[in-house]
Amino acid sequence: MEFYDQVKERLIRYAKVDTHSDRSSQTFPTTSNQFDLARMLADEMREIGISEVYLDEKTFYTYGCIPSNLPEGEGRTIGFITHIDTAPDASGKDVKPWVLNHYDGGDILLNKEKSIVMTTEEFPNLLQYVGQDLILTDGTTLLGGDDKAGIAAVMTMAEYLLKHPEVAHGKISIAFTPDEESNGLAEFLDFQRFGSPIAYTLDGDHLGYYIDNTFYASGAALSVHGLSVHTGTAKGIMRNAADIAVEFQQMLPALEKPQYTSGKEGFYHVTGCVADCENARVDLLIRDFDLEKFEARNAFIRSCAQKLAEKYGKENIHLDLREQYRNLNEVVSKVPFMIDYLKKAIQECGLTPKTEPFRGGTDGSSLSFRGIPCPNLSAGYENAHGRFEYVPIQSMVKNVEILLKLCETYAKD
- Active-site annotation, residues: 85, 180
Taking residue 372's Cβ as centre, other Cβ atoms within 10 Å add up to 22
Report strand pairing: 354-355 vs 267-275.
unpaired
Instruction: List the one residue out of 142, 203, 224 whose CA is nearest residue 361.
Output: 203
Residue 189: strand, helix, or coil: coil
Q: Are 377 and 200 in contact (CB under 8 A)?
A: yes
Q: Are 321 and 301 in contact (CB under 8 A)?
A: yes
- Element (DSSP H or E) covering residue 243: helix 241-251
Compute CA distances 276 → 157, 216, 224, 228, 318, whole Å: 54, 32, 10, 9, 16
Q: Taking the mean position of all CA atoms in its chain, how far away is CA 410? A: 25
Report strand pairing: 391-392 vs 134-136.
antiparallel
Compute CA distances 215 → 259, 286, 294, 401, whole Å: 16, 9, 9, 29
Alpha-carbon torsion (82, 88, 90, 95), positive or negative? positive
Q: Is the peptide bond before 147 cis (omega within 30 degrees of 0)?
A: yes
Which residues share a beta bridge with 392?
A: 134
The length of the chain, given as a count of residues: 413
Instruction: List the one residue out of 324, 393, 322 whose CA is nearest residue 11.
Output: 393
